[in-house]
Amino acid sequence: MPEVATAVEQAAFVCASRGVQLTELRRQVLRLILEAEAPIGAYALLDKLRGLRAGAAPPTVYRALDFLLEQGLVHKLERLNAYMPCVETGHAHHDGHGHGHDHPHQFLICRKCGATAEICAPAVAAAITEAARAQGFTPGVATVEVEGVCANCA
C-alpha cells in the first residue's frame, strides 16, 4: 500500500520537525492502524504486532499509542475503545507545543457496520465552546462521537 508508506513517512517528517522520533516500533503501530479497514483496538494491534515482533506486550503497544495520540497522528474513539488515523496528520491543527490533539474532532460511527468517519465541523466546536463558556466553563479539546447509521446501511 503506497499510500500507507507515504503517510508513515509524512508522520516521520512531522515528528522530526517537532524534535521527536517516530521509532521503528511507533512506525509499525502507526502502519497497522493505517492498514486497518476500521478503528482497531489495542489488543488487536498487539496480535498483529506480535507477527512483526515476537516479544510485543501490552505496555509496548500502549506506549506507542500514547506517543501517536500525543503527536496527533491517531485518534482514540472512546465509544469503540479503538484507534484510527487522523485524517489531518501533519496539518496546521498541531499547536507546536507537543499537543497534536488540539483540533476539534467529530466522528460519525455507524452502529450497524461500524464504519467511522472523521469530520471537521467548526460550527460544532464553536457551539460547544459557546455553551461551555455560558456556564463559566473554560473548554479544552472536545471530541464528539455521533452514533447513527451510515449511507450504505440506511
Contact between residue 83 and residue 65 where contact means Cβ atoms under 8 Å apart: yes
CATH classification of the domain holding 130:
3.30.1490.190
> pLDDT at position 87, please?
76
The model's pTM is: 0.81
> pLDDT at position 16, please?
96
Residue with cell 474513539: 77
Are 2 and 78 contained in the same domain?
yes
Helices (H), 77-148: 122-134
Contact between residue 113 and residue 92 where contact means Cβ atoms under 8 Å apart: no
Structural domain count of the chain: 2
Measure the CA–CA gap between 80 and 109, rounded to whole angstroms.
9
> pLDDT at position 88, please?
67
Please report, in tens digits, the pLDDT of each residue of the chain (154 residues total): 789 999 999 999 999 999 999 999 999 999 999 999 899 999 999 999 999 998 899 999 999 999 999 999 999 999 899 999 987 654 444 443 344 445 667 999 999 998 999 988 889 989 999 999 999 999 887 889 999 999 999 9
10 by DSSP, 3-state: which?
A: helix
Q: Which domain holds residue 56?
A: 1-100
Are 3 and 76 contained in the same domain?
yes
Are 54 and 94 contained in the same domain?
yes
Measure the CA–CA gap between 124 and 147, rounded to whole angstroms.
16
Are 81 and 28 contained in the same domain?
yes
Residue 72 gets the label, from left (phi > 0), alpha (psi -120 to 50) or beta, of: left
Contacts of residue 43, Cβ cutoff 8 Å, sequence gap at least 6: 58
